[in-house]
Chains A and B, each alone.
Chain A
Amino acid sequence: MSSSADLLEDASAPDGPVTDGTLLRAARLGDQGAFRQIVDRHGPGMYRYARTLVGHEQDAGDVLQEAFVSAWKNLPTFRGESSLKTWLFRLVHRRAMDHHRTRRPVPVTEEVFADVVADVSGDPVRQAESRELLADLRRCLGELPETQRACWLLREVEGMSYQDIGDTLGLPVGSVRGQLHRARTTLAERMSRWR
């Protein structure tokens, strides 16, 4: 049991990993440092998600910025019905869909992604193969219906649960399963030439 003295002695910032809940509470009270940590914790995944959805780095950066600005503005009214990560991905998904509605689709070329992935092996043959594999995946993803693509990315790349995917996309869990199954089947078939 803690005493008042313990609490007072502890009154500096806590050590160790900070939970999303702690960061969220601090950010909701206007702590920009906490919001910065939220951006650094969830932003890279959101950026990756946005880039795959909109197909262009610059546009993905814009989508991400809009999502975080919206998050900051809406923090005081966010009541935590979903997890922080789910809420943030929902914001970036919405901005990406808005982007789709207002922009003409840009054809995705291999060159767009040519410098994106650095194979850590240092083997030039494997690096080239890795780039081609990824470019092919992106092409296949680009051909999927939007919901299937979003479900696959959130599950396979971001590691979300079916429930969190449903919360992010506004879909029932059963529908998430169906969309994911169709996406996996289609992608596996189209990527089979790499076997």
Chain B
Amino acid sequence: MALEPSDPLERAARALRDEERAQEPRWLELSESIMTRVRGISWPAARVLATDPEGRTDRDVLGSRTYVSSRVVRDALRRALTTSQVEPKDIDLRVVDDHLQRLDLQLVATYAQDLQEVGSWARGETLRVLDEQLGPLPDLDPDTDVSITITDLHDDDARLGDTD
């Protein structure tokens, strides 16, 4: 059992630190209300025109079209590109007149990896997700309109931007 410090200020500071344990039930309630408010705040998003497997935008004779929120596409890309060795840092979709025209992707990866292999894997995953979410995109050239930049990053670095 740890000895109690003789200094009253240190004892009081310890009591203040220990307070967290006593506050747990209140904290759970509070964190839930924080997340309720957060879930009610949506970030800006654009609609992106999706195509059918043949690359057609019109789904029927009436000209029905399907749109997917850029937020959904970003989320799918984020999930697909997150592993224990790679994480997306930024996913920027440029949408003009409902068409996805460009995708800029920044990744961070742990050290000691073949970054060309990582890049190649990430490109394959990215194109697979785009096809899955939006269908074939005739306006998007995968070679010139999809940019993937990799930033090497140490695993335990808790800051962004330090390794740019």
Interface residues of A, Cβ cutoff 8 Å to B: 1-4, 6-8, 10-15, 19-22, 24-26, 28-32, 35-36, 39-40, 43-45, 47-48, 52, 57, 61, 64-65, 68-69, 72-73, 76, 78-84, 116-120, 130, 133-134, 136-137, 156-157, 184, 187-188, 191-195
A26 to B90, CA, bound (A): 9
Q: When the two chains form their complex, are residues A26 and B78 in contact, meaning their CB atoms are under 8 A apart?
A: yes
Contact A69:B37 (CB < 8 A) given known A47-B23, A130-B15: yes
Count B-side interface residues using an 8 Å CB cutoff: 61
Contact A11:B37 (CB < 8 A) given known A133-B11, A191-B9: no
Which chain B residue shows the least CB distance to A67?
B34
Of B20, B39, B82, B159, which is within 8 A of A48 by CB? B20
Q: When the two chains form their complex, are residues B85 and A7 in contact, meaning their CB atoms are under 8 A apart?
A: yes
CB distance from B123 to the nearest CB of A (A): 11
CB distance from A31 to the nearest CB of B (A): 6
A49 to B157, CA, bound (A): 25
- B79-113 interface bits toward A, Cβ cutoff 8 Å, 1 = contact, 0 = none: 01011111111110000000000000000100011
Which chain B residue shows the least CB distance to A72?
B38
A73 to B37, CA, bound (A): 11
List 6 A-B pairs, minimum CB-CB distance, nearest first.
A80-B160, A194-B8, A14-B84, A137-B12, A20-B158, A80-B161
Of B16, B74, B80, B84, which is within 8 A of A134 by CB? B16
CB distance from B163 to the nearest CB of A (A): 10
Q: When the two chains form their complex, are residues B12 and A134 in contact, meaning their CB atoms are under 8 A apart?
A: yes
Q: When the two chains form their complex, are residues B157 and A31 in contact, meaning their CB atoms are under 8 A apart?
A: no
Q: When the two chains form their complex, are residues A65 and B33 in contact, meaning their CB atoms are under 8 A apart?
A: yes
Query: Which of chain B's residues have a CB closer than 8 A to the CB of A191?
Result: 8-9, 12
Contact A118:B13 (CB < 8 A) given known A43-B31, A68-B34: no
CB distance from A21 to the nearest CB of B (A): 5
Question: 22 A-B pairs, CB-CB below 8 angstroms?
Answer: A7-B118, A8-B121, A11-B82, A14-B84, A20-B158, A28-B160, A29-B88, A32-B39, A35-B35, A36-B31, A44-B23, A61-B30, A65-B34, A69-B38, A79-B160, A83-B159, A118-B21, A136-B12, A137-B13, A156-B13, A188-B9, A195-B8
Q: When the two chains form their complex, are residues A4 and B121 in contact, meaning their CB atoms are under 8 A apart?
A: yes
Whether, in the assembled complex, B60 has its beta carbon less than 8 Å from a beta carbon of chain A, the answer is no
Query: Which of chain A's residues have a CB closer than 8 A to the CB of B71?
Result: 30
Q: When the two chains form their complex, are residues B159 and A117 in contact, meaning their CB atoms are under 8 A apart?
A: no
